[in-house]
Structures are given as structure tokens and as C-alpha cells.
Amino acid sequence: MNIKEKAITLRDDLRLYWKKPPMGRYMSFKEIASLAIGGLGIQFVVFCAQNMIISIGNTLISNTIGIAPKPMYIIYILSVILSFPLTALRGKIIDSSKSKKGRYRPFILSMGLPTAILSIGFVYMPYERMSMIAKCVTVLLFNIGLQFFYMFYYDVDSSIINVLSPNTYERSDVTSIKSVINSLAPTLGNIILPLVARAITGENTLVDIRIYRAFYPPMIIFGFFLGLLVYFNTEEKIVQAKTHTVKIKFTDAFRAVVRNKYFWIISLAGWIGFLENAVQNIMDWLYSYQEACSAAEYSLIVTIRGNASLWPMLFIPFLIRALGKRKILVVSNIINVIFIILMLPIIRLGDPSKIMWPLMFCFFFNYMAAYAVTLLTPGVNGDIRDYQQYITGERIDGMFVAVGAIGSVVTLITNAALPELYDRSGLNEDVARSLGFDGSNVYEVLSDPGYFKNICSVLIIAATVGATLNVIPYFFYDLTEIKQKAMVTVLKIRALFEDYGNGVLSDAALVEAIDIIEEAKIYHDKKIIKPSKDEIKKARKAKDKSAIKIAKQNYKNQKEENEKIEIAQYVIKEINKF
């Protein structure tokens, strides 16, 4: 098939499936386009608002507003404590939602608008005239609002794909498409920000609040309105009976999630790898404090670094089919460790102008590996929630966020390590004064080449330890794509039986139920045979093209039969309950 024929086929498919999904899929092209383009709008808001959330190493709050590491950690503790009831409330609201628009869609509007208003207000506060205490109180108060509205808005954007399709491969495919489009937000933001900064300040700096007052509000307003495409043009599709109503209590949902082993495996990976992101600010510091390059050059560097996320977006759907999510998670994290280690000899070279590009090379692969994991996260979370529905009989979504708040306690404790590392490596008032600064902004210490090198070296070593710990839990994750498909098939059977009992089962649904059960009867007592590539190797050795083709087809057929056998065993086990 030539390019012209492929283009014609694509055009015809777009017309045919614009409003209805293809066979075996759940999302129309209109929904996918709306989710991707609307998601781009949401990411414009996220690009700005995420920098307003209190976290250790946040450059907007620390370097720009001027809150030192120790006060930063104090307000960070307070913000985490205050977030607990807000997070629980978010979870309760999502799981008890009875809106006809669905479990997530209504909040694109109701949470997006307050997020936009708070984010714009944040950058317009007169921090220049505030004392340290006033700055801390102001940032903390805004964070209380953002912890509810922005985090709700962000969770909806991240999780809505889980209810738009129960097909794990479709989720991954759509997430990949969405991510390619959504990556334009940080890419454009990171390109334009240094140029706007240069135009406003006349210097190579990103630590002047005027930059953000000029740049953030237009991006936030545009992003909010574009994000409404998701609200108006998508439809949620949870696999459950038409007559089913949510009956699970808050406490029961909490206990159910606590018993979900896969939730703890994925959560643990993040918790024990808390130091992994210790290196995230090094390139910004190199530009702002060591003047390693011009504004134009830094824009190019940031653009290339940001481009690293494109490659996982393009190849993740194929890699999932070839390797499965677990192997990708393990391999990606190992690659991440390797390139963090390589940063250490580079930073020790000393000359800022010579290390910027080699460092960018390491960050490129670091970002690529990290983004592969980020791309898998929605699919993994969706599979975990399908598993939860399979073992409990109820669809639970919001409570995962609430139980995940336990991680905030762990993060609260572990994040104390980073300010301590900063302080012990020289990022403190005493060193700042010894270098001739007034000590009001301890990050000015980074202007000294010696301290810059030592501080960054310590952070790279810490990040290596964190990234190594991060990979360990993924070896225990065994929720495969076939298991997920089997569980969703069982959920369909349950929904069909419930609808049958309530007298609302349609003829089409009845036919589907019969087909599923009949196929399960054929395959459930067969043995799974591990497919071998020996035939393919022999055919390639003999250089017989037709034999290679036949051998590949036989290999594929065996894999498909194994999948049917595994699904059939789940279905028959479920049928026997009745």
C-alpha cells in the first residue's frame, strides 16, 4: 500500500469512525481529538500552576519569591498536613458522583475555573514588599486553595482515560496520542519563557517575578477555555450494569484500596525513590547562576531536552504490545540510573560553558526514561482500578487518591533529606554571607563555582541512590495485559447478569454474553503452551521467506490462543459461581 492509498484509507476511517468507535474499541476519533486538544489546554494551566505548589526545590517559590530552604520545609510540612482532609474530600466527591455527565467530566469546568483564578492571583501578590513570614503565609494560603482545586483538576485530566475505555491497549494508544499533543504545552512554555525573561529583565535569569506576571496569565486563560473540549466532547464508559448504583461506604472503599497489592507496589516505587529528582534544578541553576550560555542557546537546550519525551510517546504503544508494561518500567528505570551517574564526572569538569551540552545529553536520556514511566502511569492506574473492581464488585476511583495521601506522610519525612543536603553542602546563610551576599536569598551561593560544583555533586549522588531504589518494587508487579483483559471480560459478564436479573438486558448484550461463554467453554480446559521462536530462527537460517512468514504466523497464533485460554479460565471460574 503506497502513501496515497494510506492517506485515503485514513481519511475514510476518520469519516466512518468520527462519531462512533471502530469494532473492539470504545472511543471515537472525535473523542480522541477532543481529549488530546482539550488536554493540551489543561497542560497549559498545569505548566503554570504546578510551579506554585510548595515542594522542596521549587524554583519559583524559593529562588524567585525568595523563601529559604528551612522556611520552605516548614510551610511544606504545613501544606501536606492541611492537604489530608482536602484529598479525602476529593476522593469522596469522585466516588459518590451521580452526575449524568460522569465521574470525572463535570470537574473539568467546576475545578478548572477556580484553579485559573488562584494561579493568576498567585503571581500578582506583592512579594517584593513582603517580609519572609508574610511570603510564607501568602504562599501557604494560596496552596491550601490549589491543593483542592488544582490537584482535583490535575487528577481529572490524568485519570479520565481510565473511564473513557476499559481496553488497556486503547488506553495506552490514546494516552500516547494525547501525550504527543500535550507535550506542546511545556515545549512552547520552556522555549518562550527564557526569551520573555530576557526581554523583561535584560539578563539571563529566570528568577524575577515580573517574568511570571507577564507570561503565566495569558497561558492560563487560553488553556482553561481550550480544556473545555474534554468536558463537552467525551463520554465515560465504565463496565458495570446499567441499573447499578454505587453502594460502597467511604470506610469500605478505604479498606478495599488498602488491600490492593498492586496499588502498594506502584506507590512504594515512588516513596523509596524520593531522592531521584534531586538533580532536576541543576540545568536551571547552571544557566541562572553560572551564566553557562545565552538566552537563545538555553531555549534551544531546553527544547532539545523537552524533545526527549516525544520518543516514548511514539513507541510506547508498540513496546507495550511487545514487552508489556512491567518490563518497560524496569528497563526505563535502569536507564535512568545510568544517565544520572554519568552526570557526576561531567559536573566535576568545572567550566560551565563546557558542561552545559554534555549535561543536556544526560538529561535527554534521563527525561526519555522518566517520561516512559510517566506515560505508563495512566494505563497502570487504570489496570489497578479494574483489578479493584474485579475483586470488590465496585468501581473505586477517588479513594485511590485519598489513600495515596498516606504517601504524603512518607514524602513529608523523606523530603527533609533534601533541605539538609542543601544546607550541609553549603546552601545556607552563613556561606552566603561569607561570599559577600546579605544572606536574604541563600541560592546566591550558587554563583560561586566551587560551591556550585560541590552542591550539584552531592545532589547527583543522592539522585543515583533514589533512582536505584525506585526500580526495585517493579520486579514484583505482575498484573499483565492479558490478566486485565480477562478481568474486564468477567466484569462484562457480571454486568450482563445484573442487567438480566433486572430485566433490562438488550438482545445485542445477550448475544455478546453467549459468545463470551461459548468461547470460554472451548478454551478453558486447554493447556497454555509457551510459544517458541525456534521455527522462525530455522526459517531465517534457511533464508526461506515463505517459511519465515508461516513461522511468524504460527508464533502469533499460539500467543493468541494462550490469551484466549487465560481469559476463558477467568470466565468459567466466574460462571461457576452462579
Q: What is the set of domains in the chain, with CATH numbers?
A: 3-481 (1.20.1250.20), 506-576 (no CATH)
Measured between alpha carbons, how far apart are the two ends of the chain, in Å? 50
Residue 405: which pLDDT band, with cuts at 50, 70 and 90?
Answer: low
Which pLDDT value is given to residue 571?
A: 85
Q: What is the mean pLDDT of residues 432-454?
A: 86
Q: What is the mean pLDDT of residues 471-491?
A: 89
3-state helix, strand, coil in the chain (%, to 5): 75, 0, 25
Contact between residue 190 and residue 306 where contact means Cβ atoms under 8 Å apart: yes
Which pLDDT value is given to residue 100?
A: 77
And the C-alpha cell for 304? 532539545
DSSP state of 61: I
DSSP state of 445: G
Place of cell 482539550: 38
Provide DSSP, 241-307: -TT------HHHHHHHHHT-HHHHHHHHHHHHTTTGGGGTTHHHHHHHHH--S-HHHHHHHHHHHHH
Which pLDDT value is given to residue 142?
A: 95
Q: What is the mean pLDDT of residues 66-88?
A: 85
Average pLDDT, the chain: 85
Q: What is the mean pLDDT of residues 374-395?
A: 85
Contact between residue 292 and residue 300 where contact means Cβ atoms under 8 Å apart: no
Q: How many CA atoms lie within 13 A of 556 on its CB side?
A: 8
DSSP H/E element including 346: helix 343-347
And the C-alpha cell for 255? 479498606
What is d(CA 126, CA 123) in angstroms, rounded to the nearest whole number?
8
Q: What is the mean pLDDT of residues 444-468?
A: 89
Residue 59 makes CB contacts below 8 A (sequence gap 6+) with 51, 206, 207, 281, 284
Bigger pLDDT: 329 vs 438: 329
Share of the chain above pLDDT 70, in %: 93
And the C-alpha cell for 172? 495506552
Helix (H, G, I), strand (E, B) or coil at 438: coil
Ranked by mean pLDDT, which of 2-16, 310-324, 411-425 comes out on top?
Answer: 310-324
Contact between residue 393 and residue 494 where contact means Cβ atoms under 8 Å apart: yes
What is d(CA 260, CA 404) in angstroms, rounded to the nearest whole number?
12
DSSP H/E element including 155: helix 132-159
Residue 578: which pLDDT band, with cuts at 50, 70 and 90?
Answer: low
What is d(CA 474, CA 176) in angstroms, rounded to the nearest whole number?
21
Model pLDDT for residues 29-75, shown as the tens digit of each residue:
999 999 999 999 999 999 999 999 988 778 889 888 988 888 888 89
Q: What is the mean pLDDT of residues 162-180?
A: 87
What is d(CA 99, CA 427) in angstroms, rounded to the nearest whole number?
51
Bigger pLDDT: 195 vs 498: 195
Bigger pLDDT: 416 vs 145: 145
Which pLDDT value is given to residue 211?
A: 93
Phi/psi of residue 178, nearest 5 degrees: -60, -40
And the C-alpha cell for 23? 469494532
Q: 268: closest CA among 474, 56, 55?
A: 474
What is d(CA 265, CA 388) in angstroms, rounded to the nearest whole number?
14
DSSP H/E element including 211: helix 209-233
What is d(CA 468, CA 472) in angstroms, rounded to the nearest whole number?
7
Helix (H, G, I), strand (E, B) or coil at 505: coil
Model pLDDT for residues 483-509, shown as the tens digit of each residue:
888 888 888 888 887 777 777 667 677
Label residues 497-519 b or e (16+ Cβ within 10 Å = b).
bbbeeeeebeeebeeebeebbee
Share of the chain above pLDDT 90, in %: 24
Contact between residue 356 and residue 285 where contact means Cβ atoms under 8 Å apart: no
Phi/psi of residue 150, nearest 5 degrees: -65, -45
Is residue 96 scored above 60 in pLDDT?
Answer: yes
DSSP state of 448: S
Is residue 424 scored above 90 in pLDDT?
Answer: no
Is residue 303 scored above 60 in pLDDT?
Answer: yes
Q: What is the mean pLDDT of residues 149-171?
A: 89
What is d(CA 93, CA 84) in angstroms, rounded to the nearest whole number?
14
Helix (H, G, I), strand (E, B) or coil at 167: coil
Helices 352-392/261-272 angle, 10° precision: 160
Is residue 434 scored above 60 in pLDDT?
Answer: yes
